[in-house]
Each structure stands twice: as structure tokens, then as C-alpha cells.
Structure 1
Amino acid sequence: MQSQDVAPRHPRSASRPAAGVEQAEAALVEHYPRLVRIAYLVLPPGLGRSRRVLSAHSLTQRALPRGRSAASAIPAQSRGDDGDPGYAYLRRQVLRTALEAGRAAKRGPWPRRAALPPLLPQVWGLRLFPRSGGADELALDQRLASLPAPARAAYVLRGLERLPDAVVRQVLASAGVADPGAALRQADRLPARHALLESPEFDPCSLQARPTDLLRRRQHTRAALAAAAALAVCGALVALPGGGWGPDGAAAPAYAQNPAAEAALDPGRLTRAAPAAWRTSARLDFSVWPARGDLTGDTALLRRALAVWARPGGAVRVSATPGTASGGPAGPPQLLYAGTVDAARVVILHDGLRIVRYAEPQGSTAGAALDFARVDGASGPEASAVVLDRSDGNVRYLTAPWVRAAAQRDLLKPSSAALDLGLSDGVTGPLAGTARQTGACTSWRVLRLTGDGGSQLLSDLGELVPARLTTGRPAAPHGAAGAAGLRAWAPFACALGAVRGQGVRSVNAWRFAEQPLPGSGGTAAWVCTRTETWRGAGPRVLAQVRVPGGTYGAVAARAEDVPACGARDPHVLAGVLWKSRTDTWYLLAAGDADTASVTATGGVSATASGPLLAARAEQGTRAELKGTLKGGGALEALH
């Protein structure tokens, strides 16, 4: 029998006879898990995981043709589709009904049948949903949710079914997609992480079960008929202007009630860490931050913050760092702060994976803002500060309870004194921000925090959580707050502006080589800076060189999504053209200390033993660099 994790493949035949209902039924039994998975992935994410599971099973079971007579034969598939006719027919029907579930009704007030809750199967008293995956699956699920249904279908047919684009177009067209080409182009926006589609995160046949609200069920059992009548009346009122549940501050109206969701939005159920919990905790992370601020007892403010988080209104300004889900809380979150900051009321919440900041002007809910940042796995220095407020180009931070002092430093002036910011209930004084710095880079102000674990440097990159700055070899980076770390960062600080708003977790600067320059030109310093993100993907690597007399480092090479200069691959090789004082051009190349030899080919032909190479070159020459490691491995140059 075909495994559910392998796309069905059948040999071509010279002639394709029509397939009967029995063949379709056999295909349904054999490939049922895969068909349900396709339906689950294509159905609208807004249905919720539990309802998507039931709807996926329902529309898959309805895919069989009605009747068992010979007249209900299934047409043979068009050329280019290797699947057997029975399976291909079922897949087309599943796609058609899943796509219909995401479309609005063409005419009249009634929704399409596929958009309604399934009649069968039904599960009473339980919520069913697939097993949770990892961070990669969560990121893919969020990206799929941002695509229209035809584009999701195109991505699934490519990745799960392994169909070429020509066949994908045919299948989409037969399923009722008006523009299959546009769907494929939209699917191209997502990275080809096709293997993730077969993970348990997207398997509606391997489920977890949780009860609905047991107390509410018990209380309402005897009043079922009365509750149904009341629900009908409420539904009618919602349809009327001004009727139904109204908006809560800047939140959108709530047209449906769910016991689990209501529990997550109850300010009385917010979790709060004990003030001294961090002193005895095995980990120093956001979970041990106590609730601070002068408004932690303002139930109305907390209710508005939770309601806007769950259903932000159209006037709410919502932002999220790349790879951060912006959906509502799965359960009661933790309160970190609620207070007044610079003429605004601010609430900071933490749900274990994200930091969420809600802010509204004093005396009004108009102009509310909601910001999300991913912080899963943060501990120690990475969980030391959160942006509390931005005003007039300045930033105030809420710091961890283990932070004893906060100061401001200018990275471009490593010998200058630090400016004390002060701390009041964990809130720093205003620090000049760099998130919107424009023009010439003449300063780069960073936050220095001092606590039980020493001092750390954090840089504002326009996000809720500042990025940690480190120095040292990739396998063992350390904080950059010391004199040596400040000197190492000074020539390269302005390069941080290129990674603003990218979900940056940390940036490490590693001086991997020092190279004597030809013609007694002094010594050049080679530094590799590697930017790590909270989502894991998209690391950015820069190889920079600073020559004598230069204030800043010059970028020699850059790369993204490579392991070089990181813990997994702690090696780097880069090159640059340099003009000496005598106007002679040279190709300079440098690798880390584990480099046994460097070879240049193309516009320059030269080989050097060891990690350094300097060869005469012409202006504008292009050369290819290769390196050999002392252990015998090959070393590719950054480009």
C-alpha cells in the first residue's frame, strides 16, 4: 500500500480508460490521509485548527461521485498528470470544494456549502487539532496563511504532490481557478520548504484532543433549547446596525464566543511572576519577570489590551518582526508591565513565544498600536530588555529584574565615558535611538546593562527586543561591553543599520585575521560580522576590512543564508582590491587561522601558503578565491 507520506505515483499507460466509482473508492481508501492533508492546507486558516480538521475530513469524504452506476464513470485525466484517474478525480474535487470554502458567495445572502460547518463528521465535547510542530512549521503556516487559497493550492501541489508547474496549472484550472499562472507566481513568494508539508503540524489524521469548557457544558446542558433560542436572537441582533457585541476599545467587534478564547482574554487570569522568582529560578528569561508599572491593577486597560491583541480593529497600527505570528493568545499570557510612559498607557505581555506591546494615548483608545516580537528561547542577555516607548527619537526600556544599572554608550567612541540612564522600577531614562538614524553615521548609541552576570551591550534595531552585540570566535562569542569589545566594534558599528527591522537576535564581530600590507603600508584588520535572527533563517554575514588611516571598515564580501562565520562553520575567506600609497593595485585575501592555503584564479593567478594572500592586480580585476583548511577540507570565499 502507498505510504501516506509519499505522493502517489502510477506508471503511464498508452491508453487511459475511464475509471469507475469503484476505482475512486479504492483510491480514497488508499490515499485518504494525503487527500485530507491537502484539504487541510488549502482550507482558509481563519476557520481555526479544530474546524479545519473536521472540514478537511468532511469534504474529502464528499469527494466520491454519487451513485454507483456505469453512467457515473470518472473521465480519464489529461496528459501530463501521472496520477491514476481515480486519485486525480478525488484530488480535483477536494481542491474545488476547499477553494470554494474560501470564496465569498456569488449571489444572495447564503454562504457556499463548503464554507459551512461540516454536517459529518461531528465531535461533541472535544476540540481536535494536529500536533504542534517546531519553529519552521509555525513560520511556514503563517506564510501560507498570508497567501490566497489558489496560491496555497499551487504550493501544496508543487511540494506535497511533487507536480511540475505545467501539471499544476492543469489541476488548478480543472478545480475552478481562474488564473493558475497568477497562483503559481504568488506561491513563488514562499521559500521552497516543501518537506515541512509532510510534518505532523499539517497532518489532520494524527490528532490531539482537548475538552471544551466542562463547567460551561454542565451548566448549559439543561438549558440547551433556551441557549439555542438566545443564540438565534443574538445572531439576529448582530446583523442589525448597532446590535450584538460591541467593540472593546480599539478592538474589532466580537461576533462569536469561544470559552477557551474568552479565558485567554480575561484580565483576571493573567499570570504574574512573584517579585523574587528570578532569584531562585534555574533560568533567567522572560517567564520570571514580575509585573511592574503603575497600572497593573487597571482591569479596563488590561481587558482592552487583550481584546485588541485577539481582534485588532482597522484603526490599530499592527507591526510584527519577520517570522513572528500575530494571532491571538492561545491561553492566558503573562503580564510584564502596565503603566504610563510619556503620555501613553503601555501594556507588555508575554505568551512564552512572543513579546506583545499594546499602547494607547492617555484619555483615548484612538491611535492604539500593537507590536509583536518573537523571543522563543531567549535567556540571560537576550531577555534583559524590552522597548517600552519611543518618543521624539528616544527610547525607554523595561529591563529584567536582575539588571542593576543602565547606561548609554557611543560605539563609534569607545574611549568616551558611559552616560548613566538611571533605573526606576526597571524603566530606563530616555536613550537616543538609532532605529531611524539617517544621513551620515556619526554616532551609534547602544544600551549597556549591568547585572549579576556582568555587563552586556544591546543595540536598538527598530524592534521590541534590542539585539545583543558580541565579539569573539563563532564557537564561543562573549559580551562586547569591555574595552576590547568596544574597540573591536567601533569601526564596524555603522554596518548595523543594514539589518534594521530584520528580527535580529544577536550580532557577533570576529577579527579573524590581521594582514601586513605590501609596500610597508601597515596592517589591515579583517573582521567578520554575523547577524543571527530569532527565526533562525536569513543570517547575514559581512566580511569587512579596515586599513590604516581608515575610520570605518569597508565591506569586502557579504552573503545570506550561509553557515560561514558561525558556530556550525567557524571559517571564513574573503578578498578585496586595495590601492597602495604608490598607486599600485593589489588583490588582498584573508582566511581564518585554520586556513592552510589560499588560491586566486581568473583575473589574478596566485597561491599563498597560510591564510593570507597579496598579489599584484589591475584596477577592476575580478578573481575567484579558493581556500584549503588545515584538516584538508575546502573553503569557499564569501561573495
Structure 2
Amino acid sequence: MPTLRRGRPALRTRIAADRAEAALVEQYTALVRLAYLTLPAALSRHRRVLMAHAAAQRALPGARPTRVPGPRAAGDGPGGAEDALRVRVLRAALAGAHRPSGWPAALPPPRALLPRLPMVWGLRLFPRAGGAEEIALGQALAGASAPARAAFVLRRVDGFSAGRAAALLGAAGVRDPEDVVRDAAGLDAGAGPAAEALLRSQEFDACSVQTRPTDLIRRTRRRRLAWALGALAVITAGVLTVPGGGSGEHPAVRASATAAGGLDAARLSHAAPDEWADTSRVDFTVWPARGSRTGDEALLARALDSWAAPSDAVAVTTTPGTPQDAPPRTPQLLFAGDVDGQGVVLLTDGDRLARYADPVGGGRASLDLARVDDADVTTAAAVVLSRGSGTARYLFAPWVTEATRRDLLRPDTPARPLHVSEDGVTDAVPVAPPGGCARRPVLQLRSSARIVEHHAFLVVDLGGLSPVHLTYTPLPGHGTPPPRQPREATSSQALLAWARTACGLEPWRGGAVRAVNAWDFAEQQLPEGGGRAVWSCARASTWRGPGDVALLLRAPASSATAPARVVGRAESTAACSRFGQHVVASSRWRSPKGHWYLVAAGSRAVTRISVSGAVDTARPGRTLAVRAPERGTVRVTARLDNGERLPEVGS
């Protein structure tokens, strides 16, 4: 009979094993999909596939009863066994996503480290890759919390009402499930009507997977090493029993040191010189091998060995979210040559870049790894080959036909030409030093007409292997047709906007950022003759999926390059992306007459802004300006044209 637990009605019931098993078989694909999308994207796709199947297969009820939600709302589909299975799958997936306090961020959650059936040896499993829309949806889901992802799937795929989804999440142990479902509405609104079809596509179907072998070379090397260590143990035991046998080095000892040899430099793959101009995939995989030492097998072997099994003699650095394991397949050679007194080798395995640098005169070698999956004509346009004191030297993609450099803080100064060698290597060019904002050098590149016409774009060095692509989205009604799409930041309007935004790039230095878009989402006439202000959202999208945003207010200033005021920040959010197209922000502002105001503005779908706390008011429209004390807590929310409530970003 119905009982009450934490104020919510629930039904505790034992479900017959045969009925539960029949429901599991019938709903297996949907349950696996729910688990797969709830698990964190930081896990490899192979591990997520196995954990999703494990969660579904362990969902059959045991001796203990399963608490499932009470009576269903009309139109929510069948219940009973199916609900119990969903609750158990959600519990397992949420437990796999839970990271205890103090647990290292670089490690998967502890539940993800536990071996459980099914287990696969010698193969890697992963769903088939989807198109650009599936990739964008996956990135948006990666930026949401695990409960929000589960709520999104329950609403858009399983078709449950908000109340029903909250009831299932509550039964699975989620705190404040109603708030979680409301938070998931941001994903729901941004994904659009195609979300259900996308979620049912092969990109998110963990029951329709591809298989690839694990690293065969590494497995062979480990097997040889195991045999060598076994032989060494036998020989050592024999030597210890022979008088005087403890001196000298046995040949087996030397054999064990070479049993884990590196990948074969002779098997490195190479792209054809003009492959980039005759393919729809324009990224690092179509770079030809360049440089004066592409035939130096000794240098290439050292680079491969350092990537496969780096020793203590090699300094290894990785960008956040980049796996450090050996390449799963034979890498592709992009460059090998001498650069600033170092032998530099650039490799890719299709998902990562590896830059190996070996000082010519001796010294410690270095290996840098960075994710570059889903790169394109702009984000695969350049790679940093070497860094000096305040300078960097780049290798350009073969499709870059024109290269200039400019300073974002001098938008009226024309770009200056940049010398590039026949191999695509640039002269040393200035880069922005860490800290401060006296200058912000960027590269302005142009792609070959063989792949795209009249395409110029900006990239900026933020300390990673590949520079960051800069884009701009102008104000609504200023030449931006809906839906909004970022544009290249090369127009005078974009350069003027970036001149006041450039200093806000510094917090994202070294953060594995692939692109930053500056979106001017609202303009406002400030009171008491304060002039016209522009509200902007700068979104840094990372290679691993999640994005961080900074909300800025560009009030009138004496200089065209005065840094805009940062009024809010949020991390790992879908805000200001195609899956978070609605935003509201606020700030205290002092008028020319010395009066303090609370000013706020929202994106184009905002119809009303409300304020509570130190100020309590509400105004229709997309902007608000009201007299307010200089200090005091306020809470700003907006109402959208569809009736939904929108909290302030970063609140």
C-alpha cells in the first residue's frame, strides 16, 4: 500500500522475477541508453558502454524490495516493473558518476574503477560516430550534471512528464529532483525539436557498437615483458643458489630492459601532399609530413617510445582531459625537424596531438599531449612548435595561404604580414605573457580557396599546443538572422568588441580551450545620461566538451580598449551555446550623477525581469534599471516568452 517517505508518495513492491526479466529484455536498449547518457563523459566511451550494460543487467530486483513512484499520471506509459528497473539503473549510473570529496579530479569516480560484468578483453567498444549535431548535443550533455542528463533523457526519449521524471529521480536518491528537472529544461529548450531523434541515433546507442582491438603492439610488448620477467625470476633464483653467482650482469637482465621496445618508426602513416584539398574531413589527419628530419628514424623512434612508455628522463605534460596512454593505432607523422635548437616531432593518433622535443645539445626531452578530436579548418590551422621568451613559433596547416598578425587591443591598426617557410614554419612571433593585459597578439589566417572562399579567421595563443579560434556574434537585429551563428571575428565591429573583451581571456590560459565566442546578447540605455551599454557573454568551449562563460558589461568608457566589467561567471555550463540560448545578467552601476543602480538585461526571448532581496521589483521587457544600494544581496530572474523561469547565469 502507498507509504510516505520524505514527504513524497511511494509504493514499495516486490516484482516477480519473471516479469522483471521480461521487462528488462523488452526495455534493454532504452535502459542502457539511459545509463550511458547519465554516466560522465569524462570516462572513455568503452568504459561507459560496459558500465551502462552492467547497470542494466544488474537492475533485476533481488531480495530487497524496490521503491518506485506511486500512481502514474495519465500518458506516462506503463509502470511497475519498468519503473523499478529505471530506478535501479539510475542508481547505478548516478553512483558511477559520483566523485567523493577529495577524490582526484584526474581519476574516474571510484565506482567506475570497479570491474563488473560484462567484461571485454582485447577489444574496445564504442558507439558509431554521429554528425555535427550529435557531437554538439553530446558536448552540451557533458556540461550538465548527471541528474540533469538523466532528467533530459527521461523527458525527451522516454516521454515522461516533469512530475513523473522527478518522481523517478527522487526514488533513485536524487536530492531536490523537481529542481533538477527544471534545470534540465535549459538543455531541453536548447536542443530543439530534433533532440529525440538525435538521442536515438547511433552516437548515443550503446547497444549498437563498433569494435576495435586494443593496442596490439603494447599487448605484444607486455606479453614479451611478462615472459622476460618470468625467465629473469627463474634465472635469478638459479643464480642465488650458485656460489658466487650474484656478481656480474646476466644476459637476461639486459633482455628485460629492451623487452618493452617502442613503436616502429618505419610504420608511421603519412597523408598525401594534396589530400587536404580532396576530402570532407579537413583536420590534422590530412596534414602531410613536413620538416627536414622526417627520415630520421632514431629521432622518430625516441618520440614514439616516449609516447608509448615515457621514462623519467622525459618531461610529460597534458592538457586537462587528455588521456596519457599510448596511441591505440600507428600514429601519423606531421612534422620532424630542427626548431630553435631542438629536434621536434609532431604526431597525431586522430584524437590527440603529441609534440616531442629533444634538445640537440643535450638536456631533458619533453612530450606534450593535447586533445584535438573534432578539429576543423580553423582549430586545426596551426600548432605551436616551440616557445621562447615571450615568443612562439608555429607550424601552419597546408591550407593556410595567408598569415598576418595583429593586436586585439589595437583594433584600428592594420594586420602585419608574417613570414612562413616552405615547410609552413613561422618566424618567432610575440605572444601574450601570462598575467597583465598590455597586449593581446593574435594570428589572422586565410584558408585556401580550394576548400573555402574568402575565409579569414583569428586564432590566439593561450598556452596550448593549438591556438584558440575566436568568433563573434553581434547584437540581435544588427545583421544576425535567427538562429544565431557565430561569425569570424575579423570585421571592424567584431574587432572593436574583442578590443574590450580580450583581457578576459587570461583565466582560460592552459585550460584546453578550442574556441571562444563573444556574443553580444543585449544593449541598454543607461539612466541619467549614462549612455549606451552592451551586454556580452564570452563562452570558452573546451576540447573535452564542457564550456565556461564570463558575462561582461561594456559601459561607455574613455578608451576603445578599456576592459569590459566582468559581472558573472559560470563553469561547465551550456549557457551561451546553441543548447543554452537564453541568458540574463545583472550588475551594480554608478551613474554620472553618483547614484547607484542595479542594471540587468536578458537575451531576445526574455519578456520580464524580476529582482528580489535588497531590491524588490519586476519590469516587463529585456532590460531593467532601478535605484539600488551599493551593497546588498539581490536575486535576478527572468521570464521567457514560453513562460519558463530563467535564473541569472552564475547565481
If the TM-score is normalised by the length of the shorter chain, which range does it land in?
Answer: 0.5 to 0.7
| Aligned with residue 536 of structure 2, among 508, 527, 531 | 527
The answer to whether the 8 A contact 1:450-1:456 is kept is yes
Give 2:617's aligned residue: 606
- Structure 1 residues 127-136 or 408-417, which shifts more? 127-136
Match for residue 465 of structure 1?
466
Q: 2:487 aligns with which of 478, 482, 497?
A: 478
Q: 1:579 to 1:397 in 2, by over 3 A?
A: same
Shift of residue 479, structure 1, vs aligned partner? 1.0
Within the candidate set 437, 440, 443, 2:439 is matched to 443
Whole-angstrom distance in 2 between the partners of 1:318 and 1:231: 27
Matched position secondary structure for 2:370: strand
Does the aligned pair in 1 maintain the 2:406–2:443 contact within 8 Å? yes
Instruction: Spell out, residue by residue over 1:42-67, the C-alpha distance to the aligned partner (whole angstroms, 9 max, x if none).
Output: xxxxxxx99xx9xxx9xxxxxxxxxx
Alignment check: 8 A CA contact 1:545 1:555 kept: no
Where do 1:51-70 residues align within 5 Å? none
User: 1:529: how far off?
Assistant: 0.6
Q: In the TM superposition, what is the alpha-carbon distance from 1:11 to its structure 2 partner?
A: 8.2
Q: Supply the AA of the counterpart residue of 2:388.
A: S
Report the AA paired with residue 409 of structure 2: L
Change (3 A) 1:583 1:283: same
In structure 1, the residue corresponding to 2:383 is in which secondary structure?
strand
Aligned residue number for residue 392 of structure 1:
389
Match of 2:499 among 477, 480, 490: 490
Q: How many residues align?
A: 495
In terms of mean alpha carbon deviation, does 625-634 or 514-523 score higher?
625-634
Structure 2 Cα separation of the partners of residues 212 and 432 of structure 1: 40
Q: CA deviation at 1:253?
A: 4.9
Shift of 1:276: 1.2
- Selected match of 1:332 from 321, 324, 330: 330
1-structure distance, mates of 2:216, 2:634: 68
Higher Cα Rg, which structure:
1
Superposition deviation, residue 406 in structure 1: 1.9
Deviation at 1:629, TM superposition (A): 2.3
Offset, 1:336:
0.4
Q: Tell me, what secondary structure is at the counterpart of 2:619?
A: strand
8 Å Cα contact 1:128/1:207 also seen in 2: no
- Alignment CA distance shift 1:581-1:623 (3 Å): same
From 502, 519, 522, give the equivalent of 1:510.
Answer: 519
Shift of 1:163: 10
What CA deviation, in whole Å up to 9, does each residue of 1:354-412 have, x standing for no partner?
01111010043x41111111111111111101111111221111111011122221111
Contact 1:235 1:244 in 2 (8 A): no
CA deviation after TM superposition for structure 1 residue 559, in Å: 1.3
Equivalent residue number for residue 604 of structure 2? 593
Give the structure-1-normalised TM-score: 0.64
Alignment of 1:96-245 (within 5 A): 127-131=122-126, 208=211, 233=231
Query: Counterparts of 1:552-571 in structure 2 under 5 Å?
Result: 552-571=563-582
Deviation at 1:415, TM superposition (A): 0.8
Partner of 1:286 in structure 2? Answer: 284
Q: Is the 8 A contact 2:382 2:394 kept in 1?
A: yes
The more displaced of 353-362 and 585-594 is 585-594
**Shift of the alpha carbon at 1:269?**
0.9
Contact 1:628-1:634 at 8 Å conserved across structures? yes
Q: CA deviation at 1:451?
A: 2.1
Secondary structure of 1:428's match? coil
TM-score normalized by structure 2? 0.63
Asked if 1:367 corresponds to 2:378, the answer is no
Could you say which residue in structure 2 is the equivalent of 1:378? 375
Shift of 1:427: 0.9
Question: Following TM superposition, by how much is the alpha carbon of 1:273 offset from its aligned partner in structure 2, in angstroms?
Answer: 0.8
- List per-residue Cα deviations over 1:123-180 (Å, max 9, x = no partner): 9xx944545698989x99xxxxxxxxxxxxxxxxxxxxx9999xxxxxxxxxxxxxxx
Structure 1 residue 245 displacement after superposition: 7.9
Per the alignment, do residues 254 and 131 of structure 1 end up closer, same or farther by CA in structure 2, a change over 3 Å counting?
farther
> Is residue 350 of structure 1 aligned with residue 358 of structure 2?
no
Alpha-carbon shift at residue 255 of structure 1 (Å) = 4.1
Q: Distance in 2 between matches of 1:238 and 1:554?
A: 69
Structure-2 change in CA distance of 1:245 and 1:298 (3 Å): farther
Q: Does 1:404 align with 2:405?
A: no
Q: Distance in 2 between matches of 1:236 and 1:201?
A: 49
Deviation at 1:213, TM superposition (A): 8.0
CA contact (8 A) 2:431 2:461 kept: yes
Q: Which amino acid aligns with 1:483?
A: S
1:531–1:241 Cα change, 3 Å: farther
Residue 621 of structure 1: aligned partner? 632
Cα distance change of structure 1 residues 606 and 503 upon mapping to structure 2, 3 Å threshold: same
Separation in structure 1 between the aligned mates of residue 265 and residue 431 of structure 2, nearest angstrom: 32
Q: Which residue is 2:200 aligned to?
A: none
Contact 2:552 2:567 in 1 (8 A): yes
- Structure 2 vs 1, CA of residues 244 and 608 (structure 1 numbering), >3 Å: closer, same or farther? farther
Cα distance change on mapping 1:129 and 1:489 into 2, 3 Å? closer
State the distance in 1 between where 2:320 and 2:297 align. Answer: 31
Is the alpha carbon distance of 1:306 and 1:242 closer, same or farther for their aligned partners in structure 2, counting shifts above 3 Å?
farther
- Cα offsets for 1:498-539 (capped at 9, x unmatched): 111111011000111221111112111211111111111243
Q: Does 1:635 align with 2:646?
A: yes
Give the superposition deviation at 1:290: 0.6
Note the C-alpha offset of 1:544: 3.4
**Distance in 2 (alpha carbons) for counterparts of 1:591 and 1:400:** 40
- Whether contact under 8 Å (2:352, 2:372) holds in the other structure is yes
Cα shift at 1:561: 2.4
Gap runs ≥5 in structure 1: 1-9, 13-48, 58-76, 79-121, 141-161, 166-198, 218-226
CA separation of 1:201/1:314 partners in 2, compared to 1, >3 Å: closer, same or farther?
farther
Structure 2 distance, partners of 1:484, 1:131, is 44
**Matched position secondary structure for 2:500:** helix
Q: State whether residues 131 and 200 of structure 1, in contact with CA within 8 Å, keep that contact through their aligned partners in structure 2.
A: no
Partners of 2:622 and 2:126 in 1: CA distance: 49
Q: What do residues 439-469 of structure 1 show as CA deviations (whole Å, max 9, x unaligned)?
A: x311111111122252111111111011100
Structure 1 residue matching 2:632: 3-state secondary structure: coil
* Contact 1:628-1:635 at 8 Å conserved across structures: yes
Residues 24-39 of structure 1: matches in 2 within 5 Å? none
Identity %: 39
Q: Which amino acid aligns with 2:631?
A: G
For residues 326 and 235 of structure 1, what CA distance do their matches in structure 2 show? 30
- Does the Cα contact within 8 Å between 2:128 and 2:210 map onto a contact in 1? no
Residue 309, structure 1, aligned to residue 307, structure 2: yes
**Residue 132 and residue 299 in structure 1: after superposition, are their counterparts in 2 closer, same or farther (change >3 A)?**
farther
Q: Deviations over 1:181-218 (max 9, x none)?
A: xxxxxxxxxxxxxxxxxx99999xx995859989x99x
Q: Distance in 2 between matches of 1:508 and 1:209?
A: 36
Residue pair 2:546, 2:573 contacting (<8 A) in 1 also: no
SS of alignment partner, residue 495 of structure 1: helix
CA contact (8 A) 1:541 1:565 kept: no
Look up the equivalent residue of 2:513 and give its one-letter code: V
Cα distance in 1 for partners of 2:226, 2:645 equals 71
Contact kept in structure 2, 1:470 and 1:477, CA below 8 Å: yes
In 1, Cα distance between equivalents of 2:378 and 2:469: 7
The answer to whether the Cα contact below 8 Å between 2:537 and 2:549 also exists between their aligned partners in 1 is no
1:71-86 to structure 2, matched below 5 A, reads none
In 2, distance between residues paired with 1:357 and 1:284?
20
Q: Residue by residue, what CA displacement relative to the aligned partner does 1:58-101 show, whole Å, maximum 9, x if unpaired?
A: xxxxxxxxxxxxxxxxxxx99xxxxxxxxxxxxxxxxxxxxxxx
SS of corresponding position for 1:423: coil
Residue in 2 aligned with 1:98?
A: none
Match of 1:155 in 2: none
Contact 2:463 2:510 in 1 (8 A): yes
